[in-house]
Structures are given as C-alpha cells and as structure tokens.
Chains A and B, each alone.
Chain A
Amino acid sequence: MAIRILIVDDDPDFQAAIKVILERAEYECIQAYSMRQGLKLVSEESPDLIILDIMMEDISAGFRFVKERLEVEDTNAEAHIPILFVSSIQKFTNLNFRDRLRPFLFSTDGFLDKPVEPKDLLERIREMTANIHE
C-alpha cells in the first residue's frame, strides 16, 4: 500500500511540482491549499505524513495547524502524524524557527527550507516514513 502524504501549501505551483516528485517516487498525494482545509483532510484522510507550509492564509497559519494537531494528539498520542515543515519563513524573517519550534514538536518531525531540492525532500520523507507499513 502506498504511503499517503498530505501536502498543505497555498502555492499551487509548489503543490504541482511536489506532487509530480512524490508520485514519481510512488507516494500517494492528498492536497490542501490552506491550514483549515489541511486540518479537515487530516481527520478525513488520516495521511501517513504531512508536508506543511507555514505562511499561508496568514503568516502563522502553519504554526496554528501544529497547535490544533497538538491538542488532538495530547488526548491520543497514537494519533501523531509526523510533520515535515517545508517553508521559506526562516529566509523571509531571518529567524531560526527550526530551534524555536523544537519544544513543541515530536522528535520525528522535520524542517526543510524552501526552495527545497527534490533529492533532499525525498531523502527526508524516506527517513520519516521508514517505520510506516512495516
């Protein structure tokens, strides 16, 4: 069974490019174009991994996505779906969000800066999904 990845990003060009890369690597893609649509699809589709942008309908939308997920996962630890941030926020703000978010994330979560190399993205996804469907 293919590993299912939810891509939450408001940039249709990024979505299209990532979808091609992931499908070539035989992942199944689900797409959400906003934080709220993303949250809806997480509960409806139960993906194996979430690729998450941060600056979407507002500048902190991705962070609030995490907050909402944490509230769900707090009551059900098994419900944790690993999150891979793929965002330009660090470059945009010149701030280290990778470290800032560490206390709020699981050790299995990850952070990549945009623009992302397909090779780096696939490698990271492989690491993060290594234990899925074993």
Chain B
Amino acid sequence: MKILVLNCGNSSVKFRLFNTEKMEHLIGGHIDRIGSKESCLISQVPMHKEKRMSLSVKDHEQALDIILKAICNQEYGIIESICDIDAVGHRVVHGGEAFTESVLIDEAVFRKIKACIRFAPLHNPPNIEGIRTSLYLIPFARQVAVFDTAFHQSMEDHVYTYALPYEWYEERGIRRYGFHGTSHKYVAYRAAQMLGKPIEELRLVICHLGNGSSITAVKEGKSIETSMGFTPLEGMVMGTRCGDIDPAIPLHIMKEDDLTPAQMDGILNKKSGLFGLTGGDSNLRTIEEKAEAGSERHSLALKIVTHRIKKYIGAYAAVLGGLDGVVFTAGIGEYSSTVRRMSCEGLSFLGIEIDTIENQNNETCISKGSTPVIVIPTNEELAIAHEVMEVLAKEKEPVKIGA
C-alpha cells in the first residue's frame, strides 16, 4: 500500500510517500513560500541527491499538483500514476473535543474540522485546504485526518479545565487541548519498544523540544497531562513563544502601551521566548554558542529554558506517581546535550542521572541512574503513516440501513 502524508501550512506543503510493505519512505520533501513567485520545491528520494527547483506557486492546489508530478516522475519510477496512491494522511492541528483519534474523512468529519477553525484560525484553514485539494487531485485515495490534539483527549476533566468562568468551557470550548500529540504518541510507543516493556506498564515523561516545545506525561500509553493548553503558547519557553507567564502581564502592558489584542498576540507568539530574552536569537545552537562565548543574556536564556523543563519533569513525575523513563525528542531534544544535561541536573532524587559522555555523544540511552533517560528521534510523517494504517485496518462495512 502507498500512503502519502501531507502537512499543509499557511505557505508550505510538506510531503512524504510511504510504501507500507516495508514501511519505507519512497520520496519526501516540501514546497515553501506558496503564494510568492519565489517558491521552491525540494524533493529527495532515498539514496539520491536532493533536488531543488525554483518555481512560482500560487496556491496549495498548484503546490500539490507539482508534488504529484514529482512523485509520478518516471526518472525514479516510484509510482506510475496518482491512482497508485491508496490513502492520504493529513496532519490536522486542531480537532477540538470532536476527535479522540485519527479518522477516515467523511462529510461530517470535514464539517467538524471546519468547525474547529475557531480554535486554530491560523493552522486549520491550510490543513482543510490540503484535504480539499487532495480530494480533487487524488480522488481515488482514502483521506485520513490525524490530529495534533487527539492523543491528549484522554486527559481528565480536572486536568484540562482552567480555573476560569465555567461557562467559557461549556459555551466556548475554552480548555486545555495540548498539541504535538502524534509525535508524543509515536515516541512513547518507540520508548516502550526500546525499554522492552509493554506500554501499559510505563509512566513516561516525553520532552518534545523543538522550535515549538511541549512535555507530556504518558501513563499506560495515554496522555494524562501536557504542557501546551488552549493554544500552543502555554508551557515551555520556546523559540519565539513565551510559554507560562502570569496572565496579568499582557493586560498590564496592553493598558500601558495601548496595544490591541492582535499586537499582544504577535508579541507573545513571535517576539517572546528565546527571541525576546536574547534580543533576537531564537536558534538554540546560536544561543549555546553565544552563552559559551560569555554572553550573560544568552546564558540566562539557557537557564530559563532548562529550569522550565526541569520543573515540568518534576511536576509530571508527581502526576504520574513515579517515573519509568524520560524521553527527549525533536530538534533540540535530539541534538542539544547541553539542554538535556541542564534540564536533568539535580533530579537524582527521581533516579535521573545523565551519563556525561553518552549524552555528549548523542547516544540513545544517556542515563546512569535508575530511571532511563533516552533520546528518540521523532518522525511525525512516519507516525502519521502508522495512524493511517491503523484507521484503514479498522474500516468495516457499515450496517445496512432501510430496504
């Protein structure tokens, strides 16, 4: 079976085609700067050189059309035609409370995803455009939605409810949803495999640390608590997002500087976090280098980021009632030995002790204490392909209605 995974952003489409027999990827890549005359298709077939093509791409439909032509390119002989694609897996950022798992898209599902635009006005529209466009250009394939929020729907009400007027939850859906769910789930199951234990017996803290970061407490394979909330702004200190703050601060600044909600939203999402702390650097590698070179502000930024991670690991160990493993994943989690070391310092009372050499070498298992600390590369596209396979395996003949 051939599964195409699509991740449609506002001005980009990422894609990866999988052959499920060996779960190998056949081609992958992305188109950036959709809507401009300076778009670029980057595609790569394993064992071949990456290809770059400059193009003018006006919208997502044209972008997917270009991607499909690259996939059906006879030079590589990957697939002959779009008819060979059995299913398309779509990353959908927000599924609200409507979706607790990945689903085959039907008319009702499509409507519900549209209804979730109010929760993710920037992210869900391009995801929906991806589904619509894919239905048009790959009409014979099944379309499957895989939600960032679905894995966290297992959180209990006392975990996801904010201490705000309760009607806000009832009438407007204001609650904690959590994000990066596909990655957290995939990494949790990989961790169970690596630890050689059934996931049902494990209490894990998964630290997904990238440009956007979140930490999840996973108990018996289910998310019981996660750091992102109603939006991806809550929780960790991120590249440009502030994470947890006193909610009175933005109100205070808005009043003093006469700022609009949109302006404050821009500051909290795009000008805060590492970027705000350092005065313009959001890349962790740069921050580490400048901290090492003596910049106090960069050094402070590193301490703030890792203190927040440590605080969450401790809190989630309490929520889980113990720890069977801590996992680091995503860009920073996989490559920054400094962040891992600083985040785990002083946690030996939880059995967390980092082996300096293994950590510096980016080994898989980096702990020497009783609680395993492991580094697992996340693979969101592969995780989505797995979700699609699960959904298709569950497909059953619907009950006959009427005559």
Ordered by A's residue number, 19 sampled pairs between the chains whose C-beta atoms are within 8 Å are A10-B398, A31-B403, A33-B398, A33-B401, A33-B402, A34-B398, A36-B397, A59-B106, A59-B107, A59-B110, A59-B143, A60-B140, A63-B139, A95-B132, A95-B135, A95-B136, A97-B139, A100-B139, A104-B139
Per-residue CB contact flags for chain B residues 138-172 toward chain A (1 = under 8 Å, else 0) read 01111100000000000000000000000000000
Chain A contact residue count (CB 8 A cutoff): 26
B105 contacts partner chain A, Cβ-Cβ < 8 Å = yes
Chain B contact residue count (CB 8 A cutoff): 21
Q: Which residues of A contact B105 (CB under 8 A)?
A: 58-59
B104 contacts partner chain A, Cβ-Cβ < 8 Å = yes
B400 contacts partner chain A, Cβ-Cβ < 8 Å = yes
Per-residue CB contact flags for chain A residues 81-106 toward chain B (1 = under 8 Å, else 0) read 00000000000110101001100100
B83 contacts partner chain A, Cβ-Cβ < 8 Å = yes
Q: Which 8 A-B pairs have the closest CB atoms?
A: A63-B139, A67-B140, A55-B107, A58-B104, A12-B402, A58-B106, A59-B105, A95-B136
Q: Which residues of B contact A33 (CB under 8 A)?
A: 398, 400-402
Q: Which residues of A contact B (CB under 8 A)?
A: 10, 12, 15-16, 31, 33-34, 36-37, 55-60, 63-64, 66-67, 92-93, 95, 97, 100-101, 104
Which B-chain residue is minimally distant from A64 (CB atoms)?
B140
Q: Which residues of B contact A (CB under 8 A)?
A: 83, 104-107, 109-110, 132, 135-136, 139-143, 397-398, 400-403
Which B-chain residue is minimally distant from A96 (CB atoms)?
B136
Q: Which residues of B contact A15 (CB under 8 A)?
A: 402-403
Give the distance in Å from the alpha carbon of A100 to the alpha carbon of B110 in the complex: 20
Q: B118 → chain A, closest Cβ, in Å?
A: 20
Q: Which residues of A contact B402 (CB under 8 A)?
A: 12, 15-16, 31, 33
Q: Which residues of A contact B136 (CB under 8 A)?
A: 93, 95, 97, 100
Q: Are A58 and B400 in contact (CB under 8 A)?
A: no
Q: Which residues of B contact A34 (CB under 8 A)?
A: 397-398, 400
Given contacts A64-B140, A64-B142, A67-B140, contact A59 B135 (CB under 8 A): yes
Give the distance in Å from the alpha carbon of A31 to the alpha carbon of B397 in the complex: 16
Q: Are A63 and B140 in contact (CB under 8 A)?
A: yes
Which B-chain residue is minimally distant from A101 (CB atoms)?
B139
Q: Which residues of A contact B142 (CB under 8 A)?
A: 58, 60, 64
Q: Which residues of B contact A55 (CB under 8 A)?
A: 106-107
